[in-house]
Amino acid sequence: MSHPHPELGPPPPPPENGLRIVALGGLGEIGRNMAVFEYDGRLLVVDCGVLFPEPDQPGVDLILPDFDYIRGRLDDIEALVLTHAHEDHIGAVPYLLRERRDIPLVGSRLTLGLIESKLAEHRIQPVKVEVIEGERRSFGPFECEFVAVNHSIPDALAVAVRTPAGLVLHTGDFKMDQLPLDGRLTDLGAFARLGAEGVDLLMSDSTNSEVPGFVTSERDIAPVIDDVFRTAAKRIIVASFASHIHRVQQIMDAAEKHGRKVALIGRSMVRNMGVARELGYLKVPAGLLVDSREIEEWPPEDVVLICTGSQGEPMAALSRMANRDHPIRIAEGDTVLLASSLVPGNETAVSKVINGLNRWGARVVHKGNARVHVSGHAAAGELLYVLNLTKPSNFMPVHGEWRHLRAHARLAELTGVPRENIVIAEDGVVVDLVDGRARIAGAVPCGYVFVDGTSVGDITDVALKDRRILGDEGFISIVVVVDSTTGKLTGGPEITARGSGIDPDAFDAVVPQIESALQEVAAAGVADEMQIRRTIRRTVGRWVSDTYRRRPMIIPVVVEV
**Residue type, position 379, single letter:** A
Question: What digits encode the pLDDT tens for the residues 506-550?
Answer: 888 888 898 888 888 888 877 788 888 889 889 998 998 888 888
The predicted pLDDT at position 133 comes to 97
- pLDDT for residue 1 is more than 70: no
- Give the residue-averaged pLDDT of 281-295: 89
89 is in an annotated binding site: yes
Q: Rounded CA gap, 390 and 21, in Å? A: 20
160 is in an annotated binding site: no
373 is in an annotated binding site: yes
3 is in an annotated binding site: no
Q: Quickly list DSSP for 405-416.
A: HHHHHHHHHHTT
Is 460 strand, coil or helix? coil
Nearest to 328 by CA among 336, 320, 338: 320
- Give the residue-averaged pLDDT of 158-183: 96
The predicted pLDDT at position 458 comes to 62
Q: How many CB atoms lie within 10 A of CB 526?
A: 15
Looking at the annotation, which residues are catalytic? Answer: 205, 377
- pLDDT for residue 407 is more than 90: yes
CA terminus-to-terminus distance, the chain: 66
Q: Which of the two residues, 119 and 296, has the higher pLDDT score? A: 119
- pLDDT for residue 402 is more than 90: yes
- pLDDT for residue 44 is more than 60: yes
88 is in an annotated binding site: yes
User: Taking a C-beta distance cutoff of 8 angstroms, is the pair 155, 108 a contact?
Assistant: yes
The predicted pLDDT at position 467 comes to 66
Q: Which of the two residues, 396 and 220, has the higher pLDDT score? A: 396
- pLDDT for residue 370 is more than 80: no
| pLDDT level of residue 345 (50, 70, 90 thresholds) | low
Helical ranges in 260-396 per DSSP H: 267-278, 317-322, 347-359, 380-390
Q: Which of the two residues, 157 and 476, has the higher pLDDT score? A: 157
Contacting residues for 458 by C-beta, under 8 A, at least 6 apart? 450, 452
Nearest to 306 by CA among 344, 367, 261, 357: 261
Average pLDDT, the chain: 89
The predicted pLDDT at position 276 comes to 94
Nearest to 357 by CA among 312, 392, 315: 312
Contacting residues for 503 by C-beta, under 8 A, at least 6 apart? none
- pLDDT for residue 281 is more than 80: yes
Contacting residues for 386 by C-beta, under 8 A, at least 6 apart? 171, 188, 191, 202, 204, 378
243 is in an annotated binding site: yes
Lowest mean pLDDT among 52-61, 235-244, 251-260: 52-61
Question: What digits encode the pLDDT tens for the residues 544-557?
Answer: 888 888 888 888 89
Q: Which helix (H) or strand (E) holds 471?
A: helix 461-473
The predicted pLDDT at position 69 comes to 95
The predicted pLDDT at position 555 comes to 87
- pLDDT for residue 31 is more than 80: yes
204 is in an annotated binding site: no
| pLDDT level of residue 23 (50, 70, 90 thresholds) | very high
User: Taking a C-beta distance cutoff of 8 angstroms, is the pair 95, 70 a contact?
Assistant: no
326 is in an annotated binding site: no
- pLDDT for residue 43 is more than 90: yes
The predicted pLDDT at position 449 comes to 82
59 is in an annotated binding site: yes
| pLDDT level of residue 38 (50, 70, 90 thresholds) | very high
- pLDDT for residue 82 is more than 60: yes
- Give the residue-averaged pLDDT of 91-118: 96
The predicted pLDDT at position 54 comes to 66
Residue ranges of domains in the chain, CATH in brackets: 19-213+375-448 (3.60.15.10), 218-365 (3.40.50.10710), 461-560 (3.10.20.580)
246 is in an annotated binding site: no
To the nearest whole percent, how much of the chain has pLDDT over 70? 93
| pLDDT level of residue 125 (50, 70, 90 thresholds) | very high
The predicted pLDDT at position 153 comes to 93
Exposed, middle or buried: residue 317 (CB in 10 Å: 0-12, 13-18, 19+)? buried
- Give the residue-averaged pLDDT of 292-304: 86
- pLDDT for residue 504 is more than 90: no
Beta-bridge partners for 496: 477
- pLDDT for residue 410 is more than 90: yes
452 is in an annotated binding site: yes
User: Taking a C-beta distance cutoff of 8 angstroms, is the pair 536, 478 a contact?
Assistant: yes
244 is in an annotated binding site: yes
Q: Which of the two residues, 463 and 406, has the higher pLDDT score? A: 406
- Give the residue-averaged pLDDT of 265-280: 92
